[in-house]
Amino acid sequence: MNEKPNILLITSDQQHWNTLGITNNEVKTPNLDRLAKQGTVFTRAYCPNPTCTPTRASIITGKYPSQHGAWSLGTKLPENEHTAGVIFGNNGYKTALVGKAHFQPLAGTEDFPSLEAYPILQDSG
């Protein structure tokens, strides 16, 4: 069988290792526990940066924040960075990024307007 496996990468903010039911029976996370039992769980993973933008950018580029340029929350991951999405797409996968990744700058520019820029960020209309 030459079918490609489905790949689902779930990341979260402030997720401590013992805030999942599979590692702490005082916590109830049945859906994440089921995914963990059927997939891969990393037991010795280290975060390259304490904030979300640099860490997510490192996950999809395989680079340290000092290499990919998204070194802090609100810094833009350069458009020309080679990402896992590009690699998967080149190999026949359909890819999507769902949720908040914070790959856009907090201050938009004419060339790169940002939905995360103020005052747009708080415009609930």
Tens of pLDDT, residue by residue over 69-92, are: 998 887 888 889 999 999 999 999
User: Kindly report the CA angle at 115 between 112 and 118, in degrees rounded to 5?
Assistant: 100
List the domain range (segments joined by +) for residue 94: 51-122
Q: Does one domain contain both 78 and 100?
A: yes
Is 106 in the same domain as 57? yes
* Residues 23 and 64 placed together within one structural domain of the fold: no
41 with 60, same domain: the answer is no
What pTM value is reported for the model? 0.73
SS3 percent helix, strand, coil of the chain, rounded to 5, is 25, 0, 75
Classified as helix, coil or strand, 61 is: helix
Q: Which residues are catalytic?
A: 52, 102
Q: Of 45, 63, 80, which residue is a domain's last?
A: 45
State yes or no: pLDDT of 124 exceeds 70: no
How far is residue 4 from each of residues 42, 83, 91, 95, 116, measured CA to CA in Å? Answer: 22, 19, 10, 13, 35
Same-domain check for residues 67 and 23: no
Counting the structural domains of the chain, the total is: 2
CA dist., res. 112 & res. 11, Å (int) = 25
Same domain, 56 and 103: yes
